[in-house]
Amino acid sequence: MSGQTSTQRERVVEERESFPPGLQNAYLFAWFNALSYQIVLGSPIILYAKALGASATVLGLIAGMMPLLVILQIPAAGYIAGIGYRRFVLAGWSIRVGFIAGMAVVPFLEGLLAPSQQLALLLLLLFGFNLSRGVSSCAWLPWITALVPGSLRGRYLARDAAVQNVASFVTFVVAAGVLSGQPQDWQFAALFAFSACMGGISLVFLKRIPDVPVAPRPRAGKGRVPWLAMLRHPPFARLLETVVAWSVAYGGLTAFTVAFLKSSTNLSESQVLLVTAVSFLGGWGSLWFLGSRLDALGSRPVILFCGVGWIGVVLGWLLLSGGVCAVGTAWLLSLQFLMGLLAALVQMANTRLAMAVIPVMGRDHFFALYSVISNVTLGLSPIAWGLLIDAVGVRAWRWAGVEWNRFSVFYAAVGLVFLGMLGLARRLMEPRAVSMEALLREILIQSPQRFWLRFWPRA
Please state, as a whole number, how many other Cβ atoms lie within 10 Å of the Cβ of residue 413: 17
Other C-beta atoms closer than 10 Å to the C-beta of 388 total 18
Q: What is the pLDDT of residue 311?
A: 94
- Three-class DSSP category at 315: helix
What pLDDT was estimated at residue 42? Answer: 80
Give me the amino acid identity at 326. A
Radius of gyration of the chain (CA): 22
Q: Round to whole Å and give the CA distance between 149 and 147.
A: 7
Question: Cβ of 266: how many Cβ atoms within 10 Å?
Answer: 7
350 domain residue, yes or no: yes
Neighbours of 212 (CB within 10 A): 17
Say if 1 falls within a structural domain: no
The answer to whether residue 23 is domain-embedded is: no
- Residue 334 is assigned to a structural domain of this protein: yes
Q: How far is CA 335 from the centre of its chain?
A: 17
Q: What is the pLDDT of residue 99?
A: 94
Strand partners, 402: 399
Number of domains composing the chain: 1
Give 291's Cβ-side CA count (13 Å radius).
Answer: 27
Alpha-carbon span 106 to 284, nearest angstrom = 33
pTM of the model: 0.70
Any bridge partners for residue 404, and if so which? 397
Pairs from 254-257 (Cβ < 8 Å, separation ≥ 24): 254/42, 254/43, 254/63, 254/279, 254/339, 255/46, 255/59, 255/60, 255/62, 255/63, 255/382, 256/56, 256/59, 256/60, 256/382, 256/385, 256/386, 256/389, 256/407, 256/410, 257/317, 257/339
Q: What is the pLDDT of residue 119?
A: 93
Segments of the chain scoring below 70 in pLDDT: 1-17, 215-225, 287-296, 360-361, 431-459
Q: How far apart are CA 383 and CA 381, in angstroms?
A: 5
In a domain, 22, yes or no: no
Enclosing domain of residue 317: 28-214+226-450
Evaluate whether 283 touches 165 at the Cβ level (below 8 Å): yes
Q: In this structure, is residue 327 part of a structural domain?
A: yes
Which CATH number covers residue 429? 1.20.1250.20
| pLDDT of the residue at 400 | 83
Domain assignment of residue 38, yes or no:
yes
DSSP 217: P
In a domain, 4, yes or no: no
Q: What is the pLDDT at residue 456? A: 41
Annotate 61-114 with DSSP letters as a single string: HHHHHHHHGGGGHHHHGGGHHHH-HHHHHHHHHHHHHHHHHHHTTGGGGTTTS-
* Rounded distance between C-alpha atoms, residue 261 and residue 238, angstroms: 36
